[in-house]
A and B are shown apart, each in its own frame.
Chain A
């Protein structure tokens, strides 16, 4: 334990009250010109009384947020091997490009003639994503991965209904991200779960047994959430198609195969692409992301509005389901999608090029297999038979009878300066530890991480260390937080 200080501060980590506990109402960090005298047109709807917001001067505001930032771990801080999240380096060129006044400052409702560069950027990014996947169409407006899933399923539902074939069921493997079944419900479908086989892949026989004329689609993550490529994917695609259903692929793990596998060659009908994972835009503490969806020839006509197309006077935005957009399922997002995120990923793609993307997925897979190989010395890999893709999955068998849980193990990593891996997901193995190193980590970082984890594993297995693990982390701005208390009597805002 570090020594107590008078202030409770610990050098660079400074206790910071809520903004509501600071400031004076008349103070402000923004100087504004005096409003001219006018006869108001508010129609008697003025606010009565104060809102109660605190007032801080600019230096106080800057210090507040700087101190808050120092209580956070980011990719810039250190290794962040969060499985399924692709925490790769976020290039700063992306940020600079997105801040160009001609991009950041543009209003969504300017006449098309004044935003040709913006429309070109959307169109160019869409072209790259179609080329990388081999797919013939793309919907650019979805705001995130789960929103992309919704886009894909809405297109699928629209396609079925267009043929007068209302189906009710979406098949989802039990290893899927929680967003998959939640999306199916939002699209009015019932979810039926598909078991995994002992190799961590979809059980093809069980899948075939559930495929009938009530099934609208299969939602499958590939590479899957165990970090494995679905080796029978062509058979899966053929079976889905033969049943008259569509094949939706969750593209959260696209980073493993970008440039190396065209998903069109796998027989899929729709796949979202998380620009904030594969294409390096920042996660920002939980967004904003973007989830464009590539579509097959069978689904192309049902894509949402808006979309960009070439017109007589240059590029134009089609914003309504009229004329040749008539089969479109409609609009699912305000304005034209996550433009700022698109610019960032376009800057990344242009930086990487076809050759760089090939090398990136190669290195991502190499790094994960390196972790799998070296960590297997002390940890228990869930699927040791063959190589993994971009993430390595372990379970908690190596902690059996040590009194240490996956959670304790992860919290001990924090004190060692690493962000934990994804814990307890996927649900198909016990006490999962899912690690995704990405291609932007050096061998030196991986070696240090491996040595640390091996040493922690040996310490746990040696026995008598359970209490020590349970007390971790000790050196963070806060130690383990009481989540039960937070949920039992929720305090969701500050009150005077």
Chain B
């Protein structure tokens, strides 16, 4: 077996040193009734070549968005990742390191996480960010818990423009920690009234920018209402590329910004791993979940970085910790941070402009299609369209023409009949003019 260096002679030698007759003897503490006598009757190990063949054939049964026109978004966006990033991610010193508990031999990890925290804080317009959480949806749940700790209140208000997975995960977590959740109806037109629902029991309001249905809203007035009522404003960002072009949540007065960073550097991977982002006002940092990297000096007075404020965390505080999180998304944070570094200010801004321009062009072309209505309002790189018939069969018919046309809203809200004809559609920099031609032509065929 190619991963196992011990030879039979080694094993015999080692058993002799230990003073055991066989390896089986080392398992003597296992109740006899639970000990297997030999390997389980499962498939035998395969050579590298055979595994590649088997998994390769499995992978080829999927329709990969890189091969066909793709307009899917709804919380996961296809972007071009510079070639150098994946090569660097594969460096074993990054890939095969553990959480940086030994800072003297982990300055590489610690420095990139410090840079990551800074980049996330800068683009969200917030004061500090942590070193990542699992994904955007779990970050939303963590934000709700954090807001409840900060405000000592128990009511969580969820916008109808918040990603439904963020809503569901937050509601699940809230139920188990005895928080009350008020989830507003899905809001495709962006007309819900949140301010009227905030009261003296509200711990936080969670909204999204750009919204699940695409809308761009200035939450400054909402932030003021929250502040007046003593509640926190949490803003979720599922598409961080938008922050290259639009006013950041921090500038609107957000108290906590959460989101998913998978758009940058990480890629789609069928939706996981994601990259949970969380940035907060500095005054709340001690209530924040997750790892934090801080600057310090070493014994020679040289600048270096360490894990810090660990007294918030489970390995120190146990049942009184701010969260149970241990493993987070370190390598995804590196991928995100690299992508941000490669882009820089100019590249990040231009990437965002390109995404928006592509989406505006797409919206114009779709508006000209008979029976298709682009929902009104502002957007970044994604918007909702009303089709003349149910979206799910349309999307399936388009897929059989090898076009990934959009995401039916009913996939998230199956019991809402009024959502049946709605489809979310996104255009990133990866969409070409030919892709748009194919989409329009395909829709003409499928809708006629």
Contact = CB atoms under 8 A, between A and B. Distances in A.
A353 B323 contact: no
Contact of B117 (A41, A343, A414, A492): A492
Interface residues of A, number: 205
A287 B327 CA distance: 5
Interface in A464-496: 471, 473, 476-483, 485-487, 490-494
B378 to A, nearest CB: 3
A56 B342 contact: yes
Contact of A478 (B145, B298, B330): B298
Contacts of B267: 104-105
Contact residues of A: prevailing secondary structure? loop
B103 A336 contact: no
A154 B260 contact: no
A420 interface: yes
Given A113-B396, A330-B171, A414 B268 contact: no
Contact of B3 (A58, A355, A360, A485): A360
Interface stretch (A179-187, A204-212, A241-249): A179-187
Which range holds the interface residue count of chain B?
A: 35 or more
Interface in B100-159: 100, 102-109, 111-115, 117-119, 121-123, 127-129, 131-132, 134-138, 145
Interface string A352-373: 1111111110110111011011
Given A72-B108, A486-B295, A288 B121 contact: no
Contacts of B294: 486-487, 490-492
A150 B141 CA distance: 13
A359 B308 contact: no
Interface in B26-84: 26-31, 33-36, 38-46, 48, 50-52, 54-67, 70, 72, 74-76, 78, 82, 84
B444 interface: no
A193 B296 CA distance: 36
A71 interface: yes
A32 B354 contact: yes
A33 interface: yes
B36 A284 contact: no
Given A109-B411, A285-B109, A260 B345 contact: no
Contacts of A111: 395-396, 399
Given A28-B347, A42-B216, A74 B92 contact: yes
Nearest to A55: B344
A25 B345 contact: yes
A320 interface: yes
A341 to B, nearest CB: 6
A25 B260 CA distance: 25
Contacts of B321: 178, 182, 185
Given A28-B344, A109-B74, A373 B18 contact: yes
A60 B246 CA distance: 28
A16 B415 CA distance: 55
B238 to A, nearest CB: 9
Nearest to B273: A288
A387 B18 contact: yes
Interface in A301-342: 304, 319-320, 322, 329-341
A285 B92 CA distance: 10
Contact of A68 (B19, B108, B395): B108
Given A286-B330, A352-B45, 17 more contacts: A32-B350, A35-B356, A42-B356, A72-B93, A76-B96, A93-B48, A93-B52, A109-B74, A111-B395, A178-B313, A179-B315, A284-B97, A285-B331, A334-B272, A335-B271, A340-B270, A414-B105
18 contacts: A19-B115, A42-B245, A50-B345, A72-B94, A105-B78, A113-B400, A114-B63, A177-B315, A178-B313, A179-B326, A186-B177, A259-B40, A287-B134, A288-B272, A360-B4, A482-B299, A483-B308, A487-B309
